[in-house]
Amino acid sequence: MSSVCFNSGWTNREHVSDLFLVGYDGVGRTVKYSQNGIVLHTTTGVPAGLKTWMHGCFRSVGAKVRNLQSGPLPEMRFPAKCSVAGPMLLLANNDPPGRYLDDPFGYPKSWDERMTEAVYRMLRSAGFDGIRLQVNPGPWLEAKANGDDARLDYLDSHLDQAVYGATARGFGVMLAIFYTGFLGLTAQSALQGLGTEGWENHKWLMARWANRYKTVSPERFAPETFNEPPLPSSFPADWANDLQPDLYLLLRDIMPDHTIVLTPDRWSDKWRLTEWDLSDKPYNVNTIIDIHPFLPSVFAQQGYIYTQYKHLGPLHRRLQFPPNPAQRALVEADYIERATAAGESPETIANVLQDLAYYFELPQDELWLETIFDDVAAWCAAQGIAPARIIVGEWGIVRDNGGFPLTDPPIPGSQGADLYSAMRYLAAYKAALIRFGCRWALIHLDTLDYGITDALDHFIGKIRPELLLAIQPHHHILKWKVAA
């Protein structure tokens, strides 16, 4: 057993608990958090280069915390600042015969079977105070179309396990509808315009859930208007000026005291947010705005089968972070070979090569990441919005996974970043979040393609201490004031 201690340099001691312990069973590793620093115990030892980098990283991040503004914002009721996106079971995973599962959260275990008391304790000890739940609306809309009230009640009872299970244990819950595209139910189908069937169905379900959970404390529950409205060119309606204000007024009427989470389109894009003008919108200060900047995308999403970067990231050609110029030629040549063999279009290949050029030439390293929220901070100042009203609701990196080989057709797995690069990237991104002073929700606790645990089976594993050391949920402070 060896150990190494890093003095993290934090001066806001009231935000750091005296001692937290996260176990890593079966491997013999633990991470201890204390006011005097961070101690990593490992049976395998820590490479000297990793020690040097981690020590410098935490000293750097700590120095940026000292002058952050803090204070109360009584108008905003939802306090969670360090959340984690819920596990995969909330996506109502597809059943091969072409129907929804009887239990929309059971793939194959129910919510309570996976989110055990031990998992909640693990999250609390790790420093998370919120859970972002993404729920496929398909089973509810199918039951509504069939006039099956008993089925609706049954579905609601399963959602209750998640919402009440988390809130009863002191976690804040952000609840968002997530259209997966199964059985043709796409996000675009809900965004055809005011008064259309798809939009009215979306409002119906949001209102159903708002009425169901309006008795939950505003400090524990916040509905989100949509999970990642897609490219505005892919649907005819105006999300920012028509649809979202329409839904907000409906939810605000039902839940006058709850925080409502808003989001821009183009998949909750931060640049779309900076185009917003809130002066003529009905939103009050009891709102949070959710953005999902996976940056740089070519690194964070390498190997992810649902992006144009799916042909990046085989074991011998993983992109490293920070960018390593020595691997550029090999990465590009390997990508071209694999993408061409898979039949990718010349346009897609050119786009990815351009992104690789940006990655290596700018370069998109720690210093580059440090500035990724500067444009959002400027927009907040212009709109009079505190950074604490922004949540980066999805950030993280793809991890290795085996896919779903038994589905029809089989779903292939992905290969994400190596562990050393993952730690450096997550720590650098976390430093940018601290510098900006917003909330965040890491993606994910445990899913097929993203996650911070050591499990890829039907049960949630232990949080990997190396990744927890990089993100440090306890060490996070919000900016409640608008920058001058």
In a domain, 77, yes or no: no
240-243 CB contacts, 8 Å cutoff, 24+ apart: 240/264, 240/265, 240/272, 240/275, 240/276, 242/193, 242/194, 243/191, 243/193, 243/194, 243/199
- Do 171 and 120 fall within a single domain? yes
In a domain, 389, yes or no: yes
- Do 17 and 122 fall within a single domain? no
- Structural domain total, the chain: 3
- Do 111 and 154 fall within a single domain? yes
Domain boundary among 36, 63, 90: 63
- Do 125 and 266 fall within a single domain? yes
pLDDT score for 85: 84
- Do 388 and 464 fall within a single domain? yes
In a domain, 484, yes or no: no
3-state secondary structure labels for all residues of 378-418 = HHHHHHCCCHHHEEEEEECCECCCCCECCCCCCECCCCCCC
pLDDT score for 59: 36
- Do 303 and 423 fall within a single domain? no
- Do 134 and 250 fall within a single domain? yes
- Do 174 and 257 fall within a single domain? yes
- Do 25 and 117 fall within a single domain? no
In a domain, 477, yes or no: no
224 DSSP 8-state letter: B
In a domain, 466, yes or no: yes
In a domain, 394, yes or no: yes
- Do 210 and 136 fall within a single domain? yes
Cα–Cα distance between 318 and 300 in angstroms, integer?
11
**Boundaries of domain holding 401:** 82-295+372-471
pLDDT score for 444: 85
In a domain, 182, yes or no: yes
pLDDT score for 167: 97
- Do 289 and 307 fall within a single domain? no
Domain boundary among 13, 32, 63: 63
- Do 391 and 463 fall within a single domain? yes
pLDDT score for 37: 36
Per-residue confidence of the chain (484 residues) as pLDDT tens digits? Answer: 222 222 222 222 222 222 222 222 222 333 333 333 333 333 344 444 444 444 344 333 333 333 333 344 446 789 899 998 876 443 344 444 567 777 666 555 678 888 899 999 999 999 999 999 988 899 899 999 999 999 999 999 989 999 999 999 999 999 999 998 877 899 999 999 999 999 999 999 999 999 999 999 999 999 999 999 999 999 999 999 999 999 999 999 999 999 999 999 999 999 999 999 999 999 999 999 999 999 999 999 998 888 899 999 776 678 999 999 999 999 999 999 999 999 999 999 999 999 999 999 999 999 999 999 999 999 999 999 999 999 999 999 988 777 666 555 666 777 788 999 999 999 999 999 999 999 999 988 877 678 888 865 566 888 999 999 999 998 888 998 887 6
In a domain, 283, yes or no: yes
